[in-house]
Each structure stands twice: as C-alpha cells, then as structure tokens.
Amino acid sequence: MAHGEVLEFEEYVRTRQDALLRSARRLVPDPVDAQDLLQTALVRTYGRWDGIADKSLADAYLRRVMINTRTEWWRARKLEEVPTEQLPDASVEDGTEQRADRALLMDILGVLAPKQRSVVVLRHWEQMSTEETAAALGMSAGTVKSTLHRALARLRQELESRELDAHALERAEQGDERGMERCAA
C-alpha cells in the first residue's frame, strides 16, 4: 500500500472510530469483544483499502467485514456444556413486555415535534454525538442540546401523565368491583 493510502486509512480510522465502535457494540454484547471485533475488521480492511474505489462506502464495507467476522466467531465457538444433576428452572421470556415497552416508546415519541423527535432518535437511538447530530440535522450543537433537553422533559411529563391515568383507571376498576360486591351482598 502506498504511503498516501496509509495516511488516508489512518485519517479515516481517526475520524470514524467512535461510530464504528458503536456499530461493533450493536453486533456483540460485550464491550471488550466489540473492540476486538472492530480491530479485527480494521486489520482486514487495511489490506484491501486500495481496492475500495469509493471511500464514501468505507463505513458500509467495514460494517460488512464486522458482520462476517462476528459470524465466523460464532461458528467457531466451542460449546461449553457442563453436566449437572439438576436442571435449572427454565424461565422463558416471550418478549411481550419488551414489545409493550417499544409500543409505548413509539407512541410517546408521537407527542414530540418532528425536530425534537429527530434529535432524540439520533442522540439516543443511533447514539450519535451532539456534534454528529448537529451536522446531520443542520443545526448548532447548542440547539441540539436545548432541543434534546426540552424533548426529554416532554417525554418524562407524558410518561408521568400516562402513569397517573393508568393508576386512576385501576382505582376506578377496583371501585366498580367493590360496588358489585356490595350489591351482591
């Protein structure tokens, strides 16, 4: 690889390493494994850097290398089974609670203005930095911070309001049951 390409690759890694590490963390649960995954992908990409004609696609190329590497690791892992006298209690989560949380999140995001929703999604869902979010939305970092602050306050307010409504409904239902019991007696 030519000296200029080495410098270009080093600059690319320096500027994109945080975003690439976030991508690696989405692929593997352990932060140390995510760092190893990224380093392995960077080593593999370094050898093929001159073959990437459109450097704007380097992120996509690296993500694909990380996915392929993670798949290789998964296939190569050794199953570590330990025989035991007693089987552990099996608790199976069906994901209902997780889907309900996600549905609630999507519903309450609807109370936000589009600009607020965009800031919340980019900062917390996509885990972009304040500066990256500002660049993506074409606003200043200060505007991102203040918009995020107001949006999170609005989301908290909405959650509290819904919680109070749920408690009021629950009390009303309990009152109806007591009234029926009195009538039956």
Q: Which domains does the chain have, with CATH numbers?
A: 1-80 (1.10.1740.10), 95-184 (1.10.10.10)
Residue 138 backbone zone (phi > 0: left; psi -120 to 50: alpha; other: beta)? left
In this prediction, residue 121 carries a pLDDT of: 86
Higher pLDDT, 36 or 121: 36
Cα separation of the two ends of the chain: 90
Place of tokens 């080093």: 10
- The answer to whether residue 79 scores a pLDDT higher than 80 is no
Categorize the per-residue pLDDT at 140 as very low, low, confident or very high, splitting at 50, 70 and 90. Answer: very high
Provide mean pLDDT across the span 81-91.
72
Query: 126-154 burial by CB neighbour count: b if 16+ within 10 A, else e?
Result: ebbebebbbeebebeeebbeebbeebbeb
Listed range (33-37, 41-45, 120-124) with the worst mean pLDDT: 120-124
In this prediction, residue 172 carries a pLDDT of: 79
- The answer to whether residue 179 scores a pLDDT higher than 60 is no
Token pair listed for 90: 């099996």
CA distance 136 to 149: 18
CA distance 40 to 8: 19
Residue 25 · residue 31 · CB < 8 Å:
yes
Residue 67 · residue 24 · CB < 8 Å:
no
CA distance 183 to 12: 76
Token pair listed for 55: 């450097």
In this prediction, residue 44 carries a pLDDT of: 93
Categorize the per-residue pLDDT at 174 as very low, low, confident or very high, splitting at 50, 70 and 90. Answer: confident
In this prediction, residue 176 carries a pLDDT of: 60
Categorize the per-residue pLDDT at 182 as very low, low, confident or very high, splitting at 50, 70 and 90. Answer: low
In this prediction, residue 36 carries a pLDDT of: 94
Provide mean pLDDT across the span 18-38.
91
